[in-house]
Amino acid sequence: MTVDTRFYVSLGALTLESAAALTGAELAGNPETPITGIAAADQARAGELAFLEGDGAGQPALSRDLNVLIVSEAARSRVPGGVACLVVKQPRHAHNVIARALFKPRHQLAQTRVAISPEAKVHPGADIGAGVVVGAGAAIGEGSVICPNVVIGPGVQIGRNGLIGAGASVHCALLGDHVTLLAGARIGETGFGVTPGPNGLEDAPHFGRVILQDHVTVGANTCIDRGVFADTIVGERTKIDNLCQIAHNVVLGRSVIVAAFGGISGSVRVGDGSMLGGRVGIADHVKVGAGVSLAGSAGLFRDVADGETWGGTPAKPIRQWMREVAWLAKQTSARKRD
Amino acid sequence: MTVDTRFYVSLGALTLESAAALTGAELAGNPETPITGIAAADQARAGELAFLEGDGAGQPALSRDLNVLIVSEAARSRVPGGVACLVVKQPRHAHNVIARALFKPRHQLAQTRVAISPEAKVHPGADIGAGVVVGAGAAIGEGSVICPNVVIGPGVQIGRNGLIGAGASVHCALLGDHVTLLAGARIGETGFGVTPGPNGLEDAPHFGRVILQDHVTVGANTCIDRGVFADTIVGERTKIDNLCQIAHNVVLGRSVIVAAFGGISGSVRVGDGSMLGGRVGIADHVKVGAGVSLAGSAGLFRDVADGETWGGTPAKPIRQWMREVAWLAKQTSARKRD
Amino acid sequence: MTVDTRFYVSLGALTLESAAALTGAELAGNPETPITGIAAADQARAGELAFLEGDGAGQPALSRDLNVLIVSEAARSRVPGGVACLVVKQPRHAHNVIARALFKPRHQLAQTRVAISPEAKVHPGADIGAGVVVGAGAAIGEGSVICPNVVIGPGVQIGRNGLIGAGASVHCALLGDHVTLLAGARIGETGFGVTPGPNGLEDAPHFGRVILQDHVTVGANTCIDRGVFADTIVGERTKIDNLCQIAHNVVLGRSVIVAAFGGISGSVRVGDGSMLGGRVGIADHVKVGAGVSLAGSAGLFRDVADGETWGGTPAKPIRQWMREVAWLAKQTSARKRD
């Protein structure tokens, strides 16, 4: 992946040898192989370090350009000829360690007591409230209103005629024109990626961004996490209610409606024009087609084709769910009369 | 409705003719008819523009004082004699456009870098923390404590002995005495009103307020949206837990208890003394009586009479729900033994 | 309990007589009996006032050191010899009144317009953002990053290498090393304790703390309330996602995983290494063993033994739940074909 250096400082390249030293890995291949970036294994380009989990089975095909990989002993046989590798017990943990040595999020670096960075580009036609903090390299377009006590992280790009509500925060994100965030929205935090490490659970670092296209609206106290090795994307005119959770690497299409307490797990895809009722939950990696309706409270664990309406937990086609609800009521009501 | 000019700047009246020009509408009636305000069609007074959705069927009776209306061609026959009208393809969208030309929320207008407006009335016996922002025309009563980094919008009225927790925000709202908002509560944001427009989905503007009566408590990161053409009202001594969502135009009675993750959709009414367990969801426009109990996790789609106890999703009387749960367990457990 | 005076100011001791005067209680015992603190009845030491609810039946055994108690007339016979007592109609309400006369949370006392208290200890190697507010007596360790517009309450202790995300707030809390709070997290607010009083519902005051052990991560806009007469504790390396609610007096073990919208009610215990899927709710006082898995959307009302996997609402062992789901689908699908 191309790590966006507006959001992440590059701390300099490593070599296979220095990366092995950092992680205690066994090294196979040219020790001078440069490691300049990070990626998922199916997306990696030359110099971008990827990893295989477990024995490497059941994972997408490796990128052809990949030339450096972390694997466990069990997955070693899957390393193609010509690809340098590091062999460790916990490949994902080792990848985390090396990734943290390559890049660091700018908003976690040296804080400044200056509220509006002199290195930010705030259009004179933007309107900035009291207590607003804007990081270096951020840009805010004409006509955008930034309400009091908002935090705009370094490098964040906000288009024209946006509205950022009181106390919201935006990091590692690109916002189009006419984007509205209501008060307390949290855009671009690290996603929830718990990884076993040698000392127990640890957090996986995230190096992606959040992209909010034109006319997106995000409700109060809603959270949209940034991606791990890719972006979390919300399509044009998609409208998200208060207190929703949009996890890392999610892609919502255009004109999607997500009502309050919508919970969309990692890497879910939702097609254009789909409507999610209140408190809908979608399990990770599920694919929802275009024009789908999910009834309030639905808990969805499977893919749904275009245009379908589903409900219930676990969710199923709405007619089947309603039939079950009615049948069960009828059976037990009959028993009562026995 | 009477738009509260403490919260919304009046941008000046329109005429039927200028409103038609704004929206490309066909005009019927006196072009000089003044449009001075906005309202729902059953509440409108003279000069207050209302609209009918679709073909106008199934909507409440028109207010007798109404004299100017937006309709689609299909609903044109429902316009009473003597009522001026605008005929458009998307009446709600046109109403939004005209409403935005009449009024603008003050907290989205010119921001000021001054934290405490000299035009706010802060009682000398109120206690204001660092980083607090108070807008013009706001008033804070004796003995109220405003914790650090809170944002109090223009015109907001806070009574005596209130407590506003760190980082909370309050807009377009009137708070009685002894009102407590815990940290990060979001009062008075725009509700979730997605409307189709000529370019796709758009947000419906909101012109109401939030009223929190005496001794109301609102939990951390809970959201209470302001009404569209009316107020969202929370009655005396009602207690709301963390991370709840109270939508536009909701009316909660007195001494209602709403546990965490309670989700109350638009225009719901809940009677005095009702108790909602954790994670209860109520669909829009549902009426819940007084003294009702809803079990944790209930998803309610129908009205409930005074004093009843319901549970399940879709919610039903608790005995019926428990009977279904027990019967289903018994059937499948019997099958196992076959 | 030992009320931590870093978080609560002691307003001075009372006597049985002055406490009776405050609450209109009938007094039995030596009027000079000092009341120096508060506690739950099974934990109280000499001088710590406790109470019995209702007729006092079904409550844990009284502490042997307890020497002063509030009871209703109905529970009077349960007061041991030698224990002074106050007799009132609403014991819990009276206890609240007296507790409030003994202690007051420092963060609700005199606010200061100074952002970083000169009485706070901020390590020179900590990194403090713009708009951050730090109360008197707080301490922030080396290498910790406090992002912009965070509020750290008086007396709060933050260890080394912590990360507190933008706009978060922390009160009445002790944080170990390497603790991460993402943006908008709310640590240490008053829990939801609604108590009937003579004028209707009131909030129970809370005098405990939140303890977050080393390497704990708390997601964006998640809330962790402080305990009533004890602490809310989150064990080492436990990882909590965005928009979760952890109520007062909860104890989460080590390496517990709580996915988004997890709702853990008051006094729940969860053992080491348990995993809670998205939107899991647990009713108050439930005990969850170690190594337990709860499927996404589970609503748990009963204790679960070590190592089990449960799902559904009300939750049950996962195989039973799946059997019910499958059987119900089969029955109604058969009916359809009839």
Which residues in A lie closer than 8 A to residue C325 (C-beta atoms)? 314
Beta strands A14-15 and A34-35 are: antiparallel
Whether B3 is covered by a domain: the verdict is no
Say if residue A185 is in the same domain as residue A89.
no
Q: Which residue of C has its CA nearest to A108?
A: C145
Say if residue B296 is in the same domain as residue B213.
yes
Shortest alpha-carbon distance between residue A314 and chain C (Å): 8
On whether the CB atoms of residues A239 and A221 are closer than 8 A, the answer is no
Beta strands B84-87 and B26-28 are: antiparallel
Would you state the torsion angle of the CA atoms of residues C160, C162, C167, C169, taken in this order, to the nearest 10 degrees? -60
Q: How far apart, in whole angstroms, are the C-alpha atoms of residue B157 and residue B165? A: 16
Low-confidence ranges of chain A (pLDDT < 50): 338
Chain B contact for A148 (CB, 8 A cutoff): yes
The per-residue pLDDT for A338 is 46
Q: How far apart, in whole angstroms, are the C-alpha atoms of residue A282 and residue A256? A: 14
Say if residue C305 is in the same domain as residue C183.
yes
On whether the CB atoms of residues A300 and A318 are closer than 8 A, the answer is no
Whether B17 is covered by a domain: the verdict is yes
The per-residue pLDDT for C15 is 97
For chain A, what is the radius of gyration of the CA atoms? Answer: 23
On whether the CB atoms of residues C237 and C256 are closer than 8 A, the answer is no
pTM, to two decimals: 0.96
On whether the CB atoms of residues A157 and A178 are closer than 8 A, the answer is no
Mean pLDDT of C59-71: 94
Say if residue B174 is in the same domain as residue B295.
yes
**Which residues are within 8 A (CB) of B225 and not within 5 positions of it... i.e. 6 or more apart?**
A220, A242, B188, B189, B190, B191, B192, B206, B210, B232, B246, B247, B248
Q: Where in the sequence is the domain holding A88, given as residue range(s)? A: 8-106
Q: What is the pLDDT of residues C268-281, one digit of tens each?
A: 999 999 999 999 99
For the record, the structure tokens of A105 come out as: 């999020």
Low-confidence ranges of chain B (pLDDT < 50): 338
Whether C296 is covered by a domain: the verdict is yes
Residue at C42: amino acid letter = D
Q: How far apart, in whole angstroms, are the C-alpha atoms of residue A106 and residue C26? A: 63
Among C119, C133, C284, C294, the strongest candidate for a mutation testing the B interface, having the largest count of B CBs within 10 A, is: C133
**Phi-psi region for residue A329, left (φ > 0), alpha (ψ -120 to 50) or beta?**
alpha
Which residues in B lie closer than 8 A to residue C221 (C-beta atoms)? 184, 221, 243
Q: Which residue of A has its CA nearest to B131?
A: A131
Count Cβ–Cβ pairs < 8 Å, chain B vs chain C. 151
Q: What is the pLDDT of residues C90-143, one digit of tens each?
A: 999 999 999 999 999 999 887 888 899 999 999 999 999 999 999 999 999 999
Beta strands A103-105 and A8-10 are: antiparallel
Which amino acids of C are annotated catalytic? 248
For the record, the structure tokens of C298 come out as: 């589970």
- Vertex A260, ends A258 and A261: CA angle to 5°? 100
Say if residue A175 is in the same domain as residue A305.
yes
Whether B162 is covered by a domain: the verdict is no
Q: What phi, psi does C332 have (nearest 5°)?
A: -80, -25
Q: What is the pLDDT of residues C223-260, one digit of tens each?
A: 999 999 999 999 999 999 999 999 999 999 999 999 99
Q: Which residue of B has its CA nearest to C317?
A: B329
**If residue A14 lies in a helix (H) or strand (E), which one and from where to where?**
strand A14-15
On whether the CB atoms of residues C214 and C179 are closer than 8 A, the answer is yes
Say if residue A263 is in the same domain as residue A182.
yes
Q: Which residue of B has its CA nearest to A239?
A: B194
What CATH number does the domain containing C227 carry?
2.160.10.10
Of B54, B76, B106, which residue is a domain's last? B106
The reply to whether omega before C80 is within 30° of 0 (cis) is no
Three-class secondary structure assignment of chain C? CCCCCCCEEECCCEEHHHHHHHHCCEEECCCCCEECEECCCCCCCCCEEEECCCCCCCCCCCCCCCCEEEECHHHHHHCCCCCEEEECCCHHHHHHHHHHHHEEEHHHCCCCCCCECCCCEECCCCEECCCCEECCCCEECCCCEECCCCEECCCCEECCCCEECCCCEECCEEECCCCEECCCCEECCCCCCEEEECCEEEECCCCCCEEECCCCEECCCCEECCCCCCCEEECCCCEECCCCEECCCCEECCCCEECCCCEECCCCEECCCCEECCCCEECCCCEECCCCEECCCCEECCCECCCCEEECCCCEEHHHHHHHHHHHHHHHHHHHHC
Q: How far apart, in whole angstroms, are the C-alpha atoms of residue A93 and residue B283? A: 44
**If residue A181 lies in a helix (H) or strand (E), which one and from where to where?**
strand A180-181
Identify the sign of the CA torsion B211, B228, A126, B11. negative
Whether C117 is covered by a domain: the verdict is no
On whether the CB atoms of residues B165 and B185 are closer than 8 A, the answer is yes
Which residues in C lie closer than 8 A to residue B145 (C-beta atoms)? 108, 111
| A contact residues 264-303, partner C, Cβ 8 Å cutoff | 265, 279, 281, 283, 299, 301
Say if residue C183 is in the same domain as residue C100.
no
CB atoms within 10 A of CB B60: 9
Q: Provide the 3-class DSSP secondary structure of residue A327.
A: helix
Whether B120 is covered by a domain: the verdict is no
Tell the burial category of A18 from Cβ atoms under 10 Å away from its Cβ (0-12, 13-18, 19+).
Answer: middle
Check CB contact under 8 Å for C129 and A113.
Answer: yes
Tally the residues of chain A. 338
Residue at C130: amino acid letter = A
Check CB contact under 8 Å for C279 and A281.
Answer: yes
Residue at C225: amino acid letter = D
On whether the CB atoms of residues B95 and B75 are closer than 8 A, the answer is no
| Whole-complex ipTM | 0.96
Number of independent structural domains in chain C: 2
Say if residue A180 is in the same domain as residue A307.
yes
Q: How far apart, in whole angstroms, are the C-alpha atoms of residue C80 and residue B233? A: 48
Which residues in C lie closer than 8 A to residue B167 (C-beta atoms)? 149, 151, 167-169, 184
Q: How far apart, in whole angstroms, are the C-alpha atoms of residue B140 and residue B127? A: 9
- Cross-chain CB nearest to B184 (options C169, C279, C314): C169
What CATH number does the domain containing A54 carry?
3.40.1390.10
Among B190, B206, B320, the strongest candidate for a mutation testing the A interface, having the largest count of A CBs within 10 A, is: B190
Q: How far apart, in whole angstroms, are the C-alpha atoms of residue C304 and residue C308? A: 7
C-alpha A303: how far from chain center: 20
Which residues in C lie closer than 8 A to residue B296 (C-beta atoms)? 281, 283, 299, 301
Whether A130 is covered by a domain: the verdict is no
Shortest alpha-carbon distance between residue B132 and chain A (Å): 8
Whether B143 is covered by a domain: the verdict is no
Kindly state the DSSP code that residue B159 receives in the 8-state scheme: -
Of C106, C124, C147, which residue is a domain's last? C106
**Sheet harboring B263-264: ordered strands across?**
B133-134, B151-152, B169-170, B186-187, B223-224, B245-246, B263-264, B281-282, B299-300
| B contact residues 45-104, partner A, Cβ 8 Å cutoff | none
Say if residue A290 is in the same domain as residue A199.
yes
Say if residue B313 is in the same domain as residue B183.
yes
On whether the CB atoms of residues A127 and A146 are closer than 8 A, the answer is yes
Say if residue A52 is in the same domain as residue A182.
no
**If residue A299 lies in a helix (H) or strand (E), which one and from where to where?**
strand A299-300
Q: How far apart, in whole angstroms, are the C-alpha atoms of residue A311 and residue A293? A: 9
Say if residue B175 is in the same domain as residue B308.
yes
